[in-house]
Structures are given as structure tokens and as C-alpha cells.
Amino acid sequence: MVKIRIQIFLLISTFIIVSCAQPQGTLPTYNQELSIEEQKIQNQLFADSWLKAYLNVSEVGLNILFNAVELCREEDQIYGIGVDIATRYDGPEQIRSELTKSLFLTDDITIVATGINTPARNAGLNRGDKIIKINDQTAPYGVNATSEFYKKIRDSKTKTHQILVKRNDQEILINVKAQKQCRFGFFVDLDNNTFNAFADGNFIALSLRMAKWLAQDEIGIPLVFAHELAHNAYHHIDDKKTNMQAGAGIGLLLDILARSQGVQTDFMNMGANMGAMSYSIDYENEADYLSIYALALSGYEIDDAANFWRRFAVEVPSSIYSKGGTHPSTSERYVRIEKTIEEVYDKINKEEAILPN
């Protein structure tokens, strides 16, 4: 039996060798070891492009989480100082060692970003600072350092924290007072094919391709972040049944990232995945409406917010009509947002609180 199989195999192999056309030219010698080296270079370039997209989102996200806090319910407000931190144990596993290299990560906590207009930024904490001590005690370090640090800040509420950082071999003591922020975490997925963003009740997620496209103009990331924040702030997820199985695969990766943001959640069980999260059109309109308030509260120029939906229409032309879809058409969004911008400006001019009706 085995012999027959071998004969058949040889016969087929011979047939393939004889029948397949072969390139006629002589190629330069190929060194596979060099291509393994090249893999490392390309993965580092990919990691750095992800990092750039992520840091854009982090700067904007921290700003909005703090400054639009009034849109979030009391139960969704926590105390924070506005730092995004990491050790060499954080970040997506596929690019972790590359990120460690680019951000000079160690076992100590490194500040990766401070949002625009956050307590941390205003107190003088900088990207790249290593947190050595907090309130005269050795700062958390190692595997769980980031979540321990966030918890410490959260639990001590309004307290002013004395943070000792190492910056260019100098030790600097900085006092920073914790303030209220919306509790939601955020991340940028490694997916460079999907063009999507979603909110699942706990997190705000952008695909890498979406984050890179949004970064092309000033209002892109703030507007989409504000829209997704609105879904979470107004608990749109409560009425939405998620597909429990669809998200299991991607969930594990998200969960790892989630922990690096210091918010406890389990994406594996929640089954959150890109595309599974969609709301009814009424909720989308409400999120659009609230997004303009979140932007205004966070100090962004809202004049260009309606125009964003024209740019989106050019990128995704099917969204111009969008009949029977999960989202309002970009034409409807443009028209509605123009009205909302008028409403917000009216409140600003009358010196009223910038809060939704």
C-alpha cells in the first residue's frame, strides 16, 4: 500500500516538474537569512506606524475624557491625572519588543502620553518621564505596574499626588491634583484592513486604518472619539445585544490592550468585535449630536465638524445614501450636525453652559 502511494507520488511529482513552466532568467542569489533580518526591520516600521496612530488617539482621547466629563454619568466618572503609561510588559504582543525599543520601556513606569489640557500636562509631566516614586513611596514596577498605578490614583480621589520622575538622568518632583474624568478606556487595534471604530460600553476602539485616515485632518480623531464616547456615556450598549461568539478571537488581543489602559473588562466574554457593534439610527444621531458638545467642551474648533462628513462621504461613497443601513447617511449627518453647531454657538454666545438639551 505504502509502495503504491510512493509510486503515485513520484509519478505526480515528475508530471508537475515536466509540465510546469520555469522562469528562463538567472536570478541573483537569494539569502534567506537576510530576509529574516528584513522581517525585523519591517515589523519595527509597522510598530512605529501603529505607535504614531495610537499616540494621536491617546493625546486627543485623554483631553476629551477629562474635559467632556459632564457628559458622563456620575457612576462613569473616576479620578485620574491624565497620563497614558506603559512598561515593557504592555502593548500588543506582536509588536511589544519593538514598542519597548521605540519608547525605551523598562520595568519602571514610563509616561507615553499626556493629553492636551489634563492635570498631568498642566502640572508639567512629560512624555518619556519615568515615574520613580508616588507620594514618597516606590512607584509600582514590573508586570502589573500600570494597572496598580491607575488604581492608586483612582482610589485616592481628589488627592494631590507628589510624583517623582526621572527625566534625562535628573529627578524632578511634580505635584499633580487628580480630577474627574470619564472612566472609558481606548485603544487602536492592529487591524490595518478594517475601516471602523466602535464603543462597547467600556471602551472606545479604532482600527489602525481608521486611526491613520482620521489623522489626516485636525478634527478627524477628536470627532470620532467624541462620537464613540457619546455611545458609552449615554449607555447605548444597554439596549444592544452583542454577538457573543463573533468577538472571541479578536477579544483576547483587545483584553490584553485593555489591561494596559487600567480599566477592567473582558472582551473575550463580552464578544465585542469590530462590526458587531452597531446601534440603531436614532442612537447614531444622538451620538453625533453629543459629539459636537464633547468637542466644544474639550476646546476643539467645531466649525469643521460638519465638513468631516463630506470627507467621509468621499472615502466611503456608499454612505452618501445609506438607505436601510445601520447608520444615517453622511448627507443626513451633515445637515443635522450643522444645526447642532448652530445650537452650541448660540449657547456660547449667550454664555450659557455648553450642555445638551
Closer by beta carbon to Zn ion, 189 or else 284: 284
- x/- contact string, 264-293, with Zn ion (CB under 5 A)? --------------------x--x------
What is the rounded distance in angstroms from the CA atom of residue 253 to the CA atom of residue 241? Answer: 22
Task: Please say which residue, 90 or 284, places its beta carbon nearer to Zn ion.
Answer: 284
Query: Given the C-alpha cell 491625572, which residue does it identify?
Result: 81
> In the complex with Zn ion, which residue's Cβ is closer, 23 or 324?
324
Beta strands in 35-169 (DSSP E): 77-80, 83-86, 109-114, 130-134, 137-138, 160-167
Separation of alpha carbons 135 and 119, rounded Å: 16
Residue 201: all three cell numbers together: 460600553
Nearest approach in angstroms of CB 228 to Zn ion is 7
Q: What's the min distance (Å) between Cβ of 229 and Zn ion?
A: 10
Report the distance separating Cα 145 and Cα 148, nearest Å: 5
The four Cα atoms 79, 81, 84, 85 give a dihedral, to 10 degrees, of -100
Q: Give 59 or 284: the residue with its C-beta nearer to Zn ion.
A: 284
Strands (E), the chain: 77-80, 83-86, 109-114, 130-134, 137-138, 160-167, 170-177, 179-182, 185-188, 197-199, 203-206
SS (H, E, C) 294-345: HHHHCCCCHHHHHHHHHHHHHHCHHHHCCCCCCCCCHHHHHHHHHHHHHHHH
Q: Which is nearer to Zn ion, 130 or 327 (CB)?
A: 327
Q: How far is the CB of 336 from Zn ion (least distance, A)?
A: 13
Per rule CB under 5 A, count of chain residues that contact Zn ion: 2
Tell me whether residue 111 or residue 224 sits nearer to Zn ion (CB atom). 224
Query: Least distance to Zn ion from the beta carbon of 249, Å?
Result: 23
Nearer to Zn ion, 225 or 267 (CB): 225
Report, in Å, the least distance between residue 221 CB and Zn ion.
15
354, with CB counted inside 10 A (0-12, 13-18, 19+), is: middle
- Asked if 330 and 310 touch (Cβ cutoff 8 Å), the reply is yes
The residue (of 98 and 284) whose beta carbon lies closer to Zn ion is 284
In whole angstroms, how close is the CB of 326 to Zn ion at the nearest point?
9
**Beta carbon of residue 47, minimum distance to Zn ion (angstroms, whole number):** 29
Give the single-character DSSP code of 138.
E
Question: Closest distance between Zn ion and the C-beta of residue 252, in Å?
Answer: 24
Sites for Zn ion among residues 99-128 (CB under 5 A): none
Note the residues at the interface with Zn ion (CB under 5 A): 284, 287
